[in-house]
């Protein structure tokens, strides 16, 4: 039996509601009277240059406005809780600045000779510095053009992506989408981009036109040599890919395989650098991703530090999810070619073991995350998951850039999976998609009932503890429907099977994953539920906005960056946010959305238009990454 949250008197299916009571305050309010007081905006600071690295700004706490009681459901919208549950930044980060004053110390013997302050414009791009005297050249501030233009030939960069995943070749999460989307966007902007990844057993060589190129000898510690095969292909016929073929490590059914992954991805990382030397294609930047390839940033500063073609190659490490850090037994250091002096807390050591992500943080020239708000969260004691101190030590090298959406795949106007396409100007196709979705899941076909969707891995991070408590009562107390797509935790799978049986005609779930069904759910739903405990970036909330489905999210990480909270007086916003990690907060926010659907349909339509007008393209992200690459190159040259 589903858990009970609150007495059912709050959300009864009644026709009239003369007045209603807030459960926490005991105040009685008439319809439309309740409005919450805006929370003060927290002030956080950063030392990142304004145009070189995208500034990290704290999430703006929006006021949660009470909704009028619906004729269909009596609801109490969530009041904004104090953000005590959010990760706490123990060390304040200074505010973004464009100019600072650097004053030399006065000489002890002659205070009168104190040097004048020297003003340095940090907003200017940094040219490649000479070894003798690094110089920062000033440049006027400019706003990036809305439509990205190809780079001039002199600014063209050679960029190497070293990754364990790339969509559609091999993927388990958002990492593969990010690599595929960003590499294609950078290539279109005139850069020379290459990808190196393993040739996994699951990759269909014939389907993707993968052919053998040559062999390559990779040197490791203890005098060990490993010969690997190099295969070549192209991502969507555009981005060149070098595949590493080593049957002992990569000819396996899955992408990841436990303790041996330290050796598997060590081979990938070092082979990627060796391929570049053998091909005489020397990248300006090696862009590595998560713990799997972060060791490549270490190799560039150790094995290839001097007397190597890669001595000037800079490294950028992107943290897609700090919860996965790559912790292994310290004996693997010998295989990498490192002595015991590297087993220290400021390099690899982590409670007697090694931590590959930690080492990457220490050695990379620039560290990025997949959203500005997540870059703040991981520098707090909760969000940092043990690495906050090391990230704060290099805070001037940390920034957040929002992931983008591949609009060639996720576009309601061209989506090949939909029974009918549509645009913001003509939503007739969306109504057809909703009908098809209701029929597909065996729900009552009714365009007037709000339809909620959930698409996710069934993992604790995604907030399914909150869903299990809030959703059954919401279905009992409100006139609504819900469809679910996903797989993972067996307990959660069984919960959704029970929910479907208990609410026939109003709820149903598909246990598993289907790309075609995911597209139909984004297009056919009216609201999308995503109550993550933490979310580095998230993609589904962006897909939902572009498809005209309003997201309901917990204000964390990329969810807070990409969803604008509904403001009832102005009808501004693209979705609904809550802050508390609690079942009741999610329950009330669902009620807030239901009330808006029934009582303020013109507000719902306005929010729908605002969401579909959002620019979540990878081209916008690529412009910011180009600035990061310039900064990384300058930092490497100055060492």
DSSP letter, residue 316: E
Give the chain's count of helices (H) and strands (E).
17, 22
Measured in Å, how far apart are the chain's first and last C-alpha atoms? 63
Phi, psi of 307 (to 5 degrees): 50, 40
Q: Nearest-5° angle of CA 262, CA 267, CA 273?
A: 130
**Smallest Cα–Cα separation from 451: which of 513, 532, 528?**
528
**Smallest Cα–Cα separation from 382: which of 534, 577, 559?**
534
Give me the domains of the chain, ranges plus CATH numbers: 49-76+407-616 (3.40.50.2000), 163-404+620-637 (3.40.50.2000)
Strand order across the beta sheet in which 349-350 lies:
327-328, 353-355, 349-350
Q: How many CA atoms lie within 13 A of 377 on its CB side?
A: 32
Query: What is the model's pLDDT at position 170?
Result: 94
Q: Is 154 exposed, middle or buried (0-12, 13-18, 19+ CB in 10 A)?
A: exposed
**What pLDDT digit, counting tens, does each position of 222-275 carry?**
999 999 999 999 999 999 999 999 999 999 999 999 889 999 999 999 999 999
**Smallest Cα–Cα separation from 30: which of 4, 69, 81?**
69
Flag residues of the chain having pLDDT under 50. 1-71, 74, 76-77, 79-124, 126-148, 150-151, 153
Record the tokens describing residue 198, joined without a space.
């393993």
Query: What is the model's pLDDT at position 297?
Result: 97
| Rounded Cα–Cα distance for residues 16 and 34 (Å) | 17
Query: What is the model's pLDDT at position 152?
Result: 52
Q: Where do the DSSP E strands lie in 236-359?
A: 239-245, 285-289, 314-319, 327-328, 349-350, 353-355
Q: Are strands 118-121 and 99-102 parallel, antiparallel or unpaired?
A: antiparallel
Q: Are strands 451-458 and 192-198 parallel, antiparallel or unpaired?
A: unpaired
**What pLDDT digit, counting tens, does each position of 391-410 carry?**
999 999 999 999 999 998 89
Rg (CA), the chain: 26
The residue whose two tokens read 């930047």 is: 285
């Amino acid at each position: 039996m589903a858990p009970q949250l609150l007495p059912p008197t709050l959300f009864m299916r009644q026709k009239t509601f003369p007045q209603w009571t807030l459960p926490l305050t005991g105040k009685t309010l008439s319809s439309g009277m309740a409005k919450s007081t805006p929370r003060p905006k927290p002030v956080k600071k950063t030392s990142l240059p304004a145009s070189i690295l995208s500034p990290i700004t704290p999430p703006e706490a929006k006021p949660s406005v009470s909704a009028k009681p619906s004729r269909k459901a009596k609801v109490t919208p969530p009041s904004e809780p104090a953000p005590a549950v959010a990760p706490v930044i123990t060390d304040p980060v200074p505010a973004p600045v464009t100019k600072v004053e650097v004053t030399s110390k006065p000489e002890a013997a002659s205070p009168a000779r104190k040097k004048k302050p020297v003003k340095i414009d940090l907003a200017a791009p940094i040219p490649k510095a000479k070894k003798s005297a690094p110089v920062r050249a000033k440049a006027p501030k400019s706003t990036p053009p809305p439509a990205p233009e190809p780079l001039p030939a002199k600014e063209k960069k050679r960029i190497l992506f070293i990754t364990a995943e790339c969509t559609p070749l091999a993927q388990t999460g958002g990492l593969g989408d990010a690599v595929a989307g960003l590499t294609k966007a950078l290539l279109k902007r005139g850069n020379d981009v290459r990808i190196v990844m393993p040739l996994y057993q699951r990759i269909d060589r014939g389907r993707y036109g993968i052919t053998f190129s040559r062999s390559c000898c990779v040197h490791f510690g203890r005098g060990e040599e490993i010969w690997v095969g190099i295969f070549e292909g192209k991502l969507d016929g555009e981005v060149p890919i070098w595949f590493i073929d080593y049957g002992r490590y990569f000819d396996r059914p899955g992408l990841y395989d436990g303790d041996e992954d330290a050796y598997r991805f060590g081979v990938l990382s070092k082979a990627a650098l060796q391929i570049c030397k053998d091909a005489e294609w020397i990248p300006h930047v090696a862009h590595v991703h998560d713990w799997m390839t972060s060791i490549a940033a270490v190799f560039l500063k150790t094995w290839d530090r001097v007397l190597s073609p890669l001595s000037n190659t800079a490294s950028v490490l992107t943290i897609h999810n700090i919860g996965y850090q790559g912790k292994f037994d310290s004996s693997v250091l010998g295989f990498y070619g490192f002595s015991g002096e590297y087993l220290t807390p400021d390099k690899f050591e982590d409670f007697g073991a090694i931590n590959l992500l930690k080492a990457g943080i220490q050695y990379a020239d620039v560290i990025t995350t997949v959203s500005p708000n997540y870059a703040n969260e991981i520098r707090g004691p909760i969000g940092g998951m043990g690495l906050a101190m090391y990230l704060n030590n290099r805070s001037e090298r940390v920034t957040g850039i929002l992931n983008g959406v591949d609009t060639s795949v996720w576009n309601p106007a061209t989506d090949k999976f939909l029974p009918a396409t549509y645009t913001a100007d003509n939503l007739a196709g969306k109504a057809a998609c909703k009908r098809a979705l209701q029929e597909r899941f065996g729900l009552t076909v009714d365009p007037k009932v709000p339809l909620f969707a959930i698409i996710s891995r069934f993992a604790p991070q995604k907030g399914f503890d909150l869903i299990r408590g809030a959703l059954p009562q919401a279905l009992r107390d409100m006139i609504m429907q819900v469809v679910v797509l996903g797989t993972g935790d067996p307990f959660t799978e069984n919960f959704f099977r029970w929910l479907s049986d208990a609410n026939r005609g109003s709820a149903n779930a598909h246990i598993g994953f289907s790309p075609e069904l995911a597209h139909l759910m984004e297009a056919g739903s009216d609201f999308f539920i995503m109550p993550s405990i933490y979310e580095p970036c998230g993609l589904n909330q962006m897909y939902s906005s572009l498809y005209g489905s309003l997201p309901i999210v917990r204000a964390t990480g990329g969810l807070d960056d990409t969803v604008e909270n509904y403001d009832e007086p102005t009808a501004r916003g693209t979705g609904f946010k809550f802050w508390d990690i609690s079942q009741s907060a999610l329950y009330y926010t669902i009620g807030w959305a239901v009330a808006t659907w029934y009582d303020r349909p013109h507000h719902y339509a306005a929010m729908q238009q605002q969401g579909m007008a959002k620019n979540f393209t990878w081209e916008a992200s690529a412009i910011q990454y180009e600035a990061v690459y310039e900064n990384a190159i300058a930092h490497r040259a100055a060492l």
